[in-house]
Amino acid sequence: MWRLLPKEVESLWTLFTAPVVWALHFLLSYVGAAVFCEKPGLLGEDFDNLRVAIGLITVLSLAVIGVSALLAWRQWGFGTGDPPHDDPTRRDRLLFQGYATLLLSGLSFVAVIFTALPALFITECLR
């Protein structure tokens, strides 16, 4: 099953995958809602469509974060080694990166849910 996943990449940037997904999700939700409410008709009339759209990008974002977490978990050796990962070796550096990325995926996962919650409760462009 693991062959479905891409090859492991060694880069500092992978650390930021999940928070970037959160940022995109946040931006899309905010801009979508702002344009919907400021430009009536442009993105449809029914507020529920907006809520469904936010729901869909939320599911998509959570899925991407899930994949990022899975990759991080793999980089962390599926949790076989315990932190603090402070040996001066390439292996410990990789484990540290995996672990930190996994933690960030968790935070981003929660933050995406936080951001999506308003769409559950708010039903109109009330000001």
The phi, psi pair for 125, rounded to 5°, reads -80, 50
- Angle between helices 47-75 and 17-38 in degrees, nearest 10: 170
Considering only residues 11, 45, 80, 82, which one is a binding residue for other proteins as defined by CB under 8 A? 11
Does the footprint of other proteins cover residue 64 (CB under 8 A)?
Answer: no
Return the range that interacts with other proteins (CB under 8 A); candidates 1-9, 60-68, 107-115.
Answer: 107-115
Does the footprint of other proteins cover residue 53 (CB under 8 A)?
Answer: no
Question: Which residues lie closer than 8 Å to 7 by C-beta, 6 or more apart?
Answer: none
Distances (CA, A) of 94 to 25, 28, 49, 124: 28, 32, 43, 47
47 vs 70, beta carbon nearer other proteins: 47
Does the footprint of other proteins cover residue 6 (CB under 8 A)?
Answer: no
Does the footprint of other proteins cover residue 24 (CB under 8 A)?
Answer: no
Does the footprint of other proteins cover residue 85 (CB under 8 A)?
Answer: yes
